[in-house]
Every structure is written in C-alpha cells, then in structure tokens.
Amino acid sequence: MTTTTGEYPMQKWVFEDAAGRFDIDLGDSNMIPGRLDQLSVPPGLELDYGHDRGIGALRDRVADLYGGDCASVLITQGAQQALYLVYASLLSPGAQVIVYRPGWQQSWDITADLGCRVDCAPYRDDLTFDVEAAAALAGPGLRLIVANSPCNPTGRRIADSDLKGLLALAERHDAYLLLDEEYALDLRDSPAVGSDRVISVSSLSKVYGFPGLRVGWLYGPPEVVEGCARRKFLSTIANSVLCETLACDVLDHRDRYLRRYTEITRQGLDLVREFAHLNTNAVELVEPEDTPFAWLRLTTGERPLALCRRVLDAGVLLMPGETLGAFDGFRICFARDPGAVAEGLRRLGPLLRPTPQVPPSTGPHGGRNSNLPNGVL
C-alpha cells in the first residue's frame, strides 16, 4: 500500500510534538480519565501470572456485556493489542484487507507490514460507510474487512443496512469482518454475537475512562480466539492480574460510569455545537453518534496540521486529520470538564482563520504541562 502524501504519525504528534506543551486536552478520544482511588481491589490479591486468556472473573464479565459465552472472549492489553493479534493470527502475505479511511492507522500500516494487499474504501459524502465501494475492491484473496463503529474520527456509526452488506460481503469471500467497537455503549447489539464471521474489539479506555489500565478484549469465534491467545502467550504471556482485577471493579459499576459518560458528553457536545454555529465560515460540524468526540471539517483552506500546531502554541491539544488519514478537518474531544471545553474553544476561536492573534493561556486552565498526554488515539 502506498502511504498518502501528507499523512502525519499520531505517535509523533502526541508523544513528541505535543508532549508538555498543552494544559487542555481536547485531542485524546477518551472520557475523563478515572483515578485509582475510585477502584477497589481485594486485600491479599496474589500477583501471580494470571491466565493467558484473562482471569475467569473478567472473561465472565466481558461475556455478559455481549450476552454470550466466555469461550469467545480473550482479554488483551487494550484494544490495540486485540486488533494486532487478530491481524497476526488471520493474515498472511498476499491476503487482501479492506479498510476504511479516515480511521485508525494501525489498520493499514500493520496489515501492510504483514505483506497484505491493503485497499482503502472511502466513505460516502455524508461519511456513512460505502458498502458498494468496498465490494468493488474485493478480490479472490479477501481475508479481512476492518470497520470502526461508531467511527473514529467521523463519529458516525454503521447503519444496519450497511452492516448487513459488509457481513454479506465477508461471507461471500469466506472472510472476516473485524469491528472496532470501542465507542459502542451496548455490546449486546454487536453483530459478533452468534456469528462465526464477525470479531468485535473493545476496552475500558474510551467510554469508561481507564486507558491507564490497558485492559481490552476481543469477542469472536472460538477458533479465532484460540489463534489470538496463542500469539498473545508468545508475546506477553498474560495481562497484569492487578489491572484485570481492577477492571472487574469497573465493570461491576458499569451503569454508574455510563451515566457519568452520558452527562459529561451531553454538556460538552452542546458547547461544541454552539462553537460550530458561531464559526460556520470556518468549520462544519459532523454530528457525532454517541462518541466523546466530533469531526470538524475545516473550510478555510488551511491544512488541519497547520491549524493544530498554532492551537498547540495556545496550550490546547487537538487531533489533526493528517494523523488519521484525512486532510480536511480535525477531531475534537468534548468528554471533558465543561469548563475546560469552554476554555479550549475560547482559545481555538481566534485561531481558525488566517493571521490569528494567539489568546493568552490564563485562568483556571492556564498553567502549562499540567495535563500530559493520557495515551493515545
């Protein structure tokens, strides 16, 4: 696969360019990070090797999220490892992979590194998933279709009719549909339940706000779980027993975390909507569907990375489209304290257009280096 000119590595943007230079994080796509003192762990917990597939208590809880069987569950070090294990397990040189772009660069970078033929399907003009375009790309070696719903960075979810179309395409080619469902609020609706062709990936990082636990999972056909578990054992053996036990506590209080998420994102999205309405000559809001972030199309003619660099000078982290395979907008996360969102938008406003005046970084969020990157993505 040929890399599109102008792409910019997210790793470089977050961990090199931005590190220590912002005090308001509207770039990372997760809920406000939780704290250790919110969680509890049984006294006397034995910190042994745990289990290669994850401790049984956590696998049972994840299976309950899907309303399925723990034999279909593999606990991983974040959704990132789950995705990687699927690629490593299912793909071989020469296999075809269809991905959607913009999206998460791992889906086209790692699969290309594995020697696969990677074809990027576009979205429709309204950023819905173009199933016909994916079908037109499909060849006899198709092994995997990768999609993200709700989508990072567009904020749009796959319509039921499009989901059926992608699943039918995978079935016709004896391929798999890999669904990154990090932002799905109810995994009981996942098409991975009861299907031998769909693999779902999620974690505690985004909606729950615990990226630092590095606990994710995949849910899929037992034979896929088996292959991924073998590769996990040969790389990391198992996750941290401590982190997996803390993850059980998070899921035991799932309803509380989801209520908090819903309230915080409601307030933040109202602020972003108002901001977009006041700046219609510079940005166009793509209305998100239950995501903690929104995609803002930039209509000034400026490249997103250039804008985000100037905004970073004002102490605000955004995610330029170039890090996600797009060149016409940027992602802004609003799952933050409303005061931080409002202040970040205040600083962003004067910078949207040419020859901006950088606003001072003052007020309750004005100190630099107080909010280093939480992780990624």
Question: Look-up: residue for tokens 């990687």?
Answer: 84
Cα four-point dihedral sign 156, 282, 364, 16: positive
pLDDT at 369: 34
pLDDT for position 87: 98
DSSP 8-state assignment for residue 14: I
The amino acid at 142: L
Q: What phi-psi label fits residue 209: left (phi over 0), alpha (psi between -120 and 50 degrees) or beta?
A: left
d(CA 83, CA 103): 13
Residue 359 preceded by cis peptide, ω within 30: no
Handedness of CA 213, 372, 5, 130 (dihedral sign): positive
Amino acid code (one letter) for 222? P
DSSP assignment, residue 122? P
Residue 274 · residue 311 · CB < 8 Å: no
Which residues are CB-contacts of 370 (< 8 A; sequence separation ≥ 6)?
23
CB 345 within 8 A of CB 273: no
Reading the block at residue 238, the tokens are 């198992």
The per-residue pLDDT for 4 is 53
Alpha-helix runs per DSSP H in the chain: 10-12, 56-66, 78-90, 106-113, 131-137, 160-172, 222-235, 241-252, 254-278, 304-313, 338-348
**Whole-structure pTM value:** 0.91
**What pLDDT is recorded for position 167?**
97
Burial (CB count <10 Å: 0-12, 13-18, 19+), residue 160 = exposed
Gap between the Cα atoms of 3 and 109, Å rounded? 9
Given a contact cutoff of 8 angstroms between Cβ atoms, the answer to whether 217 and 86 are in contact is no
Distances (CA, A) of 124 to 5, 98, 168: 22, 16, 19
- Angle at Cα 29 formed by Cα 26 and Cα 31, nearest 5°? 90
**pLDDT score at 357:** 52
Q: Are 9 and 323 in contact (CB under 8 A)?
A: yes
The strand pairing partners of 334, in sequence order, are none
User: Within the chain, which residues score under 70 in pLDDT?
Assistant: 1-5, 354-377
Structure tokens at 97: 């992979």
Q: Smallest Cα–Cα separation from 243: which of 217, 218, 222, 212?
A: 212
Residue in 230, 239, 176, 218 with CA at minimum distance from that of residue 70 = 218
Q: What are phi and psi of 97, to 5 degrees?
A: -125, 130
Q: Tokens 């990132």 map to which residue?
A: 80
Burial class (CB in 10 A: 0-12, 13-18, 19+), 156: buried
CA dihedral 28, 29, 33, 39 (to 10 degrees): -140
> What pLDDT score was predicted for residue 173?
97
